């Protein structure tokens, strides 16, 4: 793909994110996205084929734009903490989008598909980390790989961020320190 095509695709994705966050799913249209991106609606269709395709691409685009937690470059015992640090920096930027997709996933099949794909990607990452911990014999006693991976996935996810930071008024830094402490004490020998 040429850099011009990549730049257009990126503009469309950024415009789509802004439209979803500012207008919700009900106000999300390809025409509105095209106008915000400075392209034609046909250009949006050429890049994404449909509204569902754009939405699915957006869910994939967000973590790529931010990068991923460098879990392979640290010890297994530190991999969970790296995910927590990454998530604490990432969630404030995407929370409104994540919340929106979560809210409409029961009514909109493409939102449900995008949500499920991303959620299971994150769950698989949690399982990889916990498997590494078990192999390196640093997983705390009493955990099966499945249980530890599922609980870590849930604890490191956006609902806990929402409860602590948004509902209770914690700072993002306090949230990050508390979740790191929880995963280190709860999952690491």
Which string of b and e fits 21-59 if b means at least 16 CB within 10 Å? eeeebeebebebbbebbebeeebbeebbeebeebbbbbb
Give the pLDDT confidence score for residue 17 in this predicted structure: 83
User: Of 66, 178, 186, 72, nearest to 129 (Cα)?
Assistant: 72
Same fold, 3-56 and 68-187: no
Give the pLDDT confidence score for residue 99 in this predicted structure: 82
Handedness of CA 163, 182, 93, 130 (dihedral sign): negative
Break the chain into its structural domains and give their ranges. 3-56, 68-187
pLDDT tens across 58-94, in order?
877 776 655 566 667 788 889 999 889 988 988 887 7
Give the pLDDT confidence score for residue 146 in this predicted structure: 96
Given a cut of 60, whether residue 1 has pLDDT beyond it is: no
Handedness of CA 169, 114, 55, 5 (dihedral sign): positive
Give the pLDDT confidence score for residue 74 in this predicted structure: 86
The answer to whether the CB of 164 falls within 8 A of the CB of 178 is: yes
Average pLDDT over residues 149-167: 94
The answer to whether the CB of 188 falls within 8 A of the CB of 133 is: yes
Give the CATH number of domain 3-56.
1.10.10.60
pLDDT tens across 19-53, in order?
887 887 777 888 999 999 999 999 999 998 888 77
| Better pLDDT: 88 or 107 | 88
Which class would CATH give 68-187?
mainly alpha
The answer to whether the CB of 33 falls within 8 A of the CB of 47 is: no
Largest CA distance in the chain: 57
The answer to whether the CB of 19 falls within 8 A of the CB of 54 is: no
Give the pLDDT confidence score for residue 24 in this predicted structure: 75
CA distance 151 to 127: 10
Report the range of poorest mean pLDDT among 117-121, 124-128, 185-189. 117-121
């Amino acid at each position: 793909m040429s850099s011009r095509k990549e730049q257009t695709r990126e503009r469309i994705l950024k415009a789509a994110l802004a439209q979803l966050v500012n207008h919700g799913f009900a106000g999300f249209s390809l025409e509105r996205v095209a106008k915000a991106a400075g392209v034609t609606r046909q250009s949006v269709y050429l890049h994404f084929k449909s509204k569902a395709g754009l939405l699915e691409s957006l869910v994939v685009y967000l973590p790529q734009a931010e990068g991923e937690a460098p879990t392979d470059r640290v010890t297994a015992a530190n991999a969970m903490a790296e995910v927590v640090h990454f998530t604490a920096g990432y969630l404030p930027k995407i929370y409104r989008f994540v919340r929106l997709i979560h809210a409409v996933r029961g009514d909109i099949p493409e939102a449900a598909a995008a949500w499920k794909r991303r959620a299971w990607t994150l769950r698989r990452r949690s399982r990889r980390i916990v498997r590494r911990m078990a192999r390196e014999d640093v997983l705390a006693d009493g955990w099966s790989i499945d249980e530890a991976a599922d609980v870590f996935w849930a604890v490191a996810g956006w609902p806990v961020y929402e409860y602590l930071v948004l509902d209770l008024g914690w700072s993002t830094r306090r949230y990050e320190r508390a979740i790191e402490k929880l995963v280190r004490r709860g999952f690491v020998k």
